């Protein structure tokens, strides 16, 4: 073998080694990034659970060491189990949207799932007696208002029949109420009965709790299915 050929092989081998090294470093960086994301998601879940449960958090199932994969599977399984048959094929994208929106608004995804479970039993085309529509049972007037706030294209009430858009609007609305009322019992009550009715109740020294109790029962039920 000539000297030039040996030199070329050496150069090629060196380049391959550098390429493999660069690939491994990139893969490591990506893995570390994912671990950091998962740790962040778990931190968000725990902090919101503490906000909801207060002193009861330490004794609750929500305080269990649950990793990202388990939570993802939990939300997906809840959706698959509960969605009407013709919507089950959308379980993955619905679960993904619940988790993504929960991270955006720093919520426990199990909490957002519990609201959906309580509102519509995961039926994307559910309709309430007062005109509420979809997974999170949103009134068209509220949906239009929130769509403008989050810069979502509003196509009338059919926007709310789209499960992904419904979750995005509902999560944003819950977050708005959470920032306003701070306390879980109050922002859940406001979500259920509207801020105006909540103000009237509070002015009479009444703190509505039935809806909060119903949602939190579902919250614990979902956690217990891990």
**Better-scored residue on pLDDT, 217 or 226:** 217
3-state SS assignment for residue 157: strand
Tokens standing for 224? 């217990």
- Look at residue 79 and tell me whether its pLDDT is greater than 80: yes
Residues 6+ apart with CB under 8 A from 172: 101, 105, 146, 149, 150
Residue range 149-187, pLDDT digits in tens: 999 999 999 999 999 999 999 999 999 999 999 999 999
- pLDDT at residue number 31: 42
Q: Which two tokens stand for residue 181?
A: 């009322």
- Residues 53-63: what's their mean pLDDT? 93
The tokens for 159 are 């926007």
Total count of domains within the chain: 1
- Give me the CATH number covering residue 194: 1.10.530.10
pLDDT, residue 30, reads 43
DSSP-derived secondary structure letter, 190 = H
> Which residue range is the domain that position 201 belongs to?
3-224
* pLDDT score recorded for residue 68: 75
Residue 20 in this model has a pLDDT that exceeds 60: no
Q: What is residue 81's predicted lDDT score, i.e. its pLDDT?
A: 94
Alpha-carbon distances, residue 159 vs 14, 83, 139, 163, 169 (angstroms):
57, 19, 11, 9, 10
> How high does pLDDT run on average in the chain?
88
pLDDT score recorded for residue 18: 52
Mean pLDDT of 74-101: 95
Helix and strand element counts for the chain (H, E): 10, 0
Residues 6+ apart with CB under 8 A from 198: 181, 186, 189, 190, 208
């Amino acid at each position: 073998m000539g000297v030039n050929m040996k030199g070329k092989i050496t150069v090629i081998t060196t380049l391959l080694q550098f390429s493999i090294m660069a690939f491994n470093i990139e893969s490591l960086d990506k893995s570390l990034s994912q671990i950091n994301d998962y740790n962040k998601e778990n931190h968000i879940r725990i902090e919101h659970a503490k906000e909801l449960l207060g002193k009861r958090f330490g004794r609750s199932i929500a305080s269990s060491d649950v990793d990202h994969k388990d939570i993802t599977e939990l939300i997906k399984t809840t959706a698959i189990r509960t969605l009407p048959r013709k919507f089950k094929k959308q379980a993955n994208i619905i679960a993904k949207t619940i988790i993504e929106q929960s991270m955006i608004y720093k919520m426990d995804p199990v909490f957002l799932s519990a609201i959906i479970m309580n509102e519509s039993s995961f039926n994307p085309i559910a309709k309430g007696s007062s005109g509420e529509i979809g997974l999170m049972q949103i009134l068209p007037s509220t949906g239009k208002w929130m769509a403008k706030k989050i810069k979502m294209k509003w196509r009338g009430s059919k926007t709310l029949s789209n499960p992904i858009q419904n979750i995005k609007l509902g999560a944003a609305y819950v977050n708005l109420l959470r920032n306003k009322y701070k306390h879980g019992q109050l922002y859940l009550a406001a979500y259920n009965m509207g801020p105006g009715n909540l103000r009237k109740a509070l002015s009479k020294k009444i703190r509505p709790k039935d809806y909060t109790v119903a949602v939190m029962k579902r919250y614990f039920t979902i956690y217990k299915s891990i």
